[in-house]
Structure 1
């Protein structure tokens, strides 16, 4: 392969081949992953703040606008951010030494990311839509229970995203059984 390609073929023992990105490509993908993940986290924080404003008595006249902005943020920030974080994270994992199923921290991070995406759509977005519909009809509508659900949902979301960040930094728990078997298959055979 030429030195200008973004991946390199690494021969392993047996028939298997793995692909690893060269350092400049890996850094570019890692930068993209961090950037969209930070954007996703920032969008979650902004939605939390808007939810708090909409719930306070001072925010009553702002409720319809706050829920409209939350709905817009969900569509324009949260969904693209979550998809971007998932895609760039998978690319970095697939084409680096970490792999997707070889280390527990990568597996848990993937599960948290997908879980956060599903939770955001099934719980937070639906509650925001319900609150928006109610406050558009009457800005003083009693949406306290829904507002609390939106706020608690955003707190849970931010905690999940913080957990994925911590996993990326500390990389705990070592290899999975699959990762240990793959590592054992790549070790060179000692000749006597």
Structure 2
């Protein structure tokens, strides 16, 4: 039985300039993980949209209150974790493949979208979730709807739009390479 030598394109190979290149199996595994984590993120955003719509237009105060409580309790951390895992696998793919992190416009824009969305989860969405949960618990008692609740339509709308754009960019790969000055 002959022993096969590693080809330069296999795992552990170095590109010119010392950059690491993912082997075929590792690249495919990272790509599958990236797609799964991004799909999870999109699914969580769809769930957020359903909970927001149920909280706003539910048939009873109990249903509406439960939607707001669920939103406050279970949404932020799973969404953030899926976003960060999508970022991590995207970084691995960017550093270990020909696409790079900021070599092509579509990759750079996806990176920026991911960073902005993860930041918005922490800065804009998470701080208000305690109040939303409290309102959900008070809703059955006839409490009036606070003004901040109506703003909940924006997070899933913005996030789903951005994630859809990122998906389109990943498939279409538009605009070509980013030109560097001085070359």
User: Fold conserved (TM > 0.5)?
Assistant: yes
Q: Secondary structure at the match of 2:99?
A: coil
Corresponding position of 2:177: 175
C-alpha contact (below 8 Å) 1:127/1:149 kept by paired residues: no
Question: How has the CA–CA distance of structure 1 residues 62 and 145 changed in structure 2, closer, same or farther, with 3 Å as cutoff?
Answer: same
Corresponding position of 1:3: 6
The aligned length equals 176
Structure 2 residue runs without a partner (length 5+): none
Q: Deviations over 1:47-67 (max 9, x none)?
A: 110110011151421233212
Q: Which has a greater percent of strand?
A: 1
Q: Deviations over 1:52-106 (max 9, x none)?
A: 0011151421233212221233244201101100101110111000000111111
C-alpha contact (below 8 Å) 1:53/1:59 kept by paired residues: no
- Residues 1:33 and 2:40 are matched in the alignment: no
TM (normalized to structure 2)?
Answer: 0.86
TM (normalized to structure 1)?
Answer: 0.82
- Residues 1:129 and 2:122 are matched in the alignment: no
Q: Secondary structure at the match of 1:17?
A: coil
Question: How has the CA–CA distance of structure 1 residues 58 and 180 changed in structure 2, closer, same or farther, with 3 Å as cutoff?
Answer: farther
Of residues 160, 163, 180 in structure 2, which corresponds to 1:161? 163
Question: How has the CA–CA distance of structure 1 residues 38 and 93 changed in structure 2, closer, same or farther, with 3 Å as cutoff?
Answer: same
Q: Report the Cα distance in structure 2 between the residues aligned to 1:52 and 1:60, rounded to whole angstroms.
A: 13
Q: Report the Cα distance in structure 1 between the residues aligned to 2:112 and 2:88, rounded to whole angstroms.
A: 13
Cα RMSD for the two superposed structures: 2.2
Q: Deviations over 1:156-191 (max 9, x none)?
A: 11101111111111111111123995xxxxxxxxxx
4+ long deviations beyond 6 Å: none
